[in-house]
Structure 1
Amino acid sequence: MRARVPSLAVLRLPDIVVSDDGPALFRPITIRGLEIRNRVWVPPLCQYSVTARDGVPTDWHLVHLGSMAAGGAGLVIAEATAISPEGRISDHDTGLWNDEQAVAWARVTAFLRSQGAASGIQLAHAGRKASVWPEPMRRPGSQPIEAGGWRTLAPSAVAFDGLREPDALDEAGILAVIDDFRAAARRAVRAGFDLVEVHAAHGYLLHQFLSPLSNLRTDRWGGDLEGRSRLLLEVVRAVRAEIGERMPLLVRFSATDWAPGGWDEEQTALVASRAAESGADFFDISTGGLLRDVRIPVGPAYQAAHAEFVGDRAGVAVSAVGRITTPVQAEAIVASGAADAVMFGKAMMRDPHFAMRAAEALGAGTSMWPPQYLRARPEVNDGEW
């Protein structure tokens, strides 16, 4: 079991102490057969940029993800990538339901590897939150069928607020979802990804099955925690069987729905423990997404305590995410043992070279600068960025 870690009160301290081994944020971490050079990781960041609507990643994805790898990130996880056409959030999302998509992804993974970063892909099904307008169009509600939308699927015929009512999956449909995750995992291996993440967070399909607020089923896929977690665990087993024993498998959870009677961190920890027994290695802990109108106490590192709770209670490795924007915050989280890595989303989009900047700020002295950029290092320029 994971040892009890200190309180996250450490995050309120103005200073940190770097050990003789250097900053914890820049120590390598090994998961199964994969060594990742540091704990500065990039979470899946939806780009809504497949304008051809065919799920094939484009030059934008190569540059977007590649810039963060060149900027020093240890792990770069590609955006929520649909296991089937109906699993997309929007029709501008990436996919991995056919071989053309896998071939396009291979170009991305090759570049990430050339920059020293590990590559991951988040396999996802949006469930009742699918078929929305892509973010650049910014229109409310579901995309109409006549405008390219589609009927959505869910554990129960309960709509997400503002979207169309989904169709409840039958037994055959649920088994097809498992098969789609399995096939997508197989293609992820062929595409050269170093790890796979299963998306069970943010109100998408697997989260919809987990939460009693969206899963009203009375068959073996609903009811108690065992029933509601069955689909996730079956997906984890199917993905593990496809990717083999050396490739790491992550699961992303929302640790709480932020609503009474909903999914919470106690249930998250229990299911994380069972997922670990089923073949998962690492847990990416976020929150929310199941319901639209909930009060979330957003603030600096506001979700890190949930990662600490799940890691401690389940005895598993976890990452923290959410309003973590400075090297000092991140170092405090990892050095304290509250999390094993930190996901930087918006901070990385604002500055794809955030990892290099953090290494300089913490005195890591790493060698992850691309040779093309070495003349720009601060010590070559009197310490100026």
Structure 2
Amino acid sequence: MSKLFTPLTIGPMTVANRIVVSPMCQYSAVDGCATDWHQFHVPSLALSGAGLVILEATAVERLGRITHGCLGLYSDDNERALDRVVKSARAFAPKSLRLGIQIAHAGRKASSQRPWEGGGALRPDQDPWQTFAPSAIPFDDGYPAPAALADADLERIRDAFVQAARRAARIGFDLVELHMAHGYLLHSFVSPIANRREDRWGGDLVGRMAFPLEVARAVRAAVPGIALSARITGSDWSDAGLTPDDAVAAATMLKGVGLDAVVVSSGGITPKIRVGVGPNYQVPFAARVKRETGILTQAVGMIVDPLEAEAILERGEADQIALARAVLDDPRWGLHAAEKLGVEAERPVQYVRVAPKHWPGAALKR
């Protein structure tokens, strides 16, 4: 039996297979509200053959968006728009599909242009807004200095995460993922590159994890009936930043406050750092976190070949395989992986005739 197509229980939910569609920003919302693009995009991902699809980084407050086009879950309008998208996806997807959403605050990377507009800080004529971070250190040259967060700001943001999680639960998501990576607010608290505070929210790793853990505890208490995970950082790729040792410690802390799983990513704390990108380049981080903490772990990062995905699971380096660009390139990646691994995959009845065994002629292969 293929490991990639073995069911897995994550907290209160069970997924039909180990394939996860990672959150991928679309920069196509209007004041946080999902649009016609999402009405097309999300149902397409839901038919990919993945057992779990996690929607893009979704801002918990308007000031927490990366760009003007980022999805949000901070208003009733946001909730209604996203509810329509989720209903569309569930209407046609296999009944076994599980849907998750990544909730996030962009921190000092907020108030940015969409990638196809340049990707830098918004210009004065582009309606920029004040950004926030643990310390008043700009993300990069050309970015304004963020405001260092006061305790009242931290309470507001913690409560915004809670309210977004509650909205997600009302919509019917099966999983909420906390974004603690890629240089956004929660990651910037954990990384010593961005957090130079000398109060209880800074200092050693325990202090730098204090605010992310407060958010995690509050969200766990607010949505006890659904799975809760976090995307964490395996490495900042800098001697001055987070290391795999820190990833193990962070995952242990998160497990201790009730998280069900982590996905281990890396990089993003500043564009000045070169990341050693290559096939499966983040898998060793996930493998170590899984081995040393026992928490359910996703591997992510340029995993493209189904045979390699299967091998990662067989070697015990991860419990799930998360894919992003691979699924945009091949929207039926999961179904094609099943064919390659000799597994019968669940398909919409309208697509059953696409399976090779139903093709005219003898044993046609991809």
**1:338 CA drift (Å):** 0.5
Question: Which digits, 9 at most, give the CA deviation of each residue in 1:213-266, with x for residues without a partner?
Answer: 11000011111111100111111111111111x311010012110001211111
Q: For 1:136-147, what aligned pairs fall within 5 Å after superposition?
A: 136-137=116-117, 139-147=118-126
Which residue of 2 is the match for residue 160 of structure 1? 139
Question: Which digits, 9 at most, give the CA deviation of each residue in 1:37-82, with x for residues without a partner?
Answer: 11111010001112xx311011211321211211211111000000
Using the aligned pairs only, state the percent identity: 43
Asked if 1:326 corresponds to 2:305, the answer is yes
Which residue of 1 is the match for residue 219 of structure 2? 239
| Aligned residues of 2:162 and 2:218 also touching (Cα < 8 A) | yes
C-alpha separation in 2, matches of 1:203 and 1:235 = 17
Which residue of 2 is the match for residue 219 of structure 1? 199
Which residue of 1 is the match for residue 348 of structure 2? 370
Which residue of 2 is the match for residue 17 of structure 1? none
Match of 1:32 among 5, 8, 11: 11
Q: Partner of 1:258: helix, strand, or coil? A: coil
Aligned CA-pair RMSD: 1.2
Match of 1:379 among 332, 346, 357: 357
Q: Partner of 1:273: helix, strand, or coil? A: helix
C-alpha separation in 1, matches of 2:343 and 2:208 = 44
Which residue of 2 is the match for residue 4 of structure 1? none
Q: For 1:162-311, what aligned pairs fall within 5 Å after superposition?
A: 162=141, 163-244=143-224, 246-311=225-290
**1:140 CA drift (Å):** 5.0
**1:336 CA drift (Å):** 1.4
| Aligned residues of 1:119 and 1:193 also touching (Cα < 8 A) | yes
**1:144 CA drift (Å):** 2.7
| Aligned residues of 2:190 and 2:208 also touching (Cα < 8 A) | yes
C-alpha separation in 2, matches of 1:306 and 1:121 = 23
C-alpha separation in 1, matches of 2:68 and 2:82 = 18
Which residue of 2 is the match for residue 107 of structure 1? 84
C-alpha separation in 2, matches of 1:215 and 1:146 = 30
C-alpha separation in 2, matches of 1:108 and 1:254 = 30
Asked if 1:67 corresponds to 2:44, the answer is yes
Question: Which digits, 9 at most, give the CA deviation of each residue in 1:350-374, with x for residues without a partner?
Answer: 01100000000001122x1111011
TM-score under structure 1 normalisation? Answer: 0.91
| Aligned residues of 1:48 and 1:136 also touching (Cα < 8 A) | no
**1:295 CA drift (Å):** 2.5
C-alpha separation in 1, matches of 2:209 and 2:242 = 11
C-alpha separation in 2, matches of 1:86 and 1:362 = 45
Higher relative contact order (CA 8 A, sep 6+): 1
C-alpha separation in 2, matches of 1:135 and 1:297 = 21
Of 112-121 and 228-237, deviating more is 112-121
Give the residue type in structure 2 aligned to 1:256.
S
Q: Structure 1 residue runs of 4+, over 6 Å off?
A: none
Q: Partner of 1:25: helix, strand, or coil? A: coil
| Aligned residues of 1:112 and 1:118 also touching (Cα < 8 A) | no
C-alpha separation in 2, matches of 1:84 and 1:146 = 22
Give the residue type in structure 2 aligned to 1:369.
R
**1:145 CA drift (Å):** 4.2
| Aligned residues of 1:325 and 1:344 also touching (Cα < 8 A) | yes
C-alpha separation in 2, matches of 1:102 and 1:348 = 26
Q: Partner of 2:4: helix, strand, or coil? A: helix
Q: Partner of 1:252: helix, strand, or coil? A: strand
C-alpha separation in 2, matches of 1:62 and 1:25 = 28
Q: For 1:2-81, what aligned pairs fall within 5 Å after superposition?
A: 22-50=1-29, 53-81=30-58
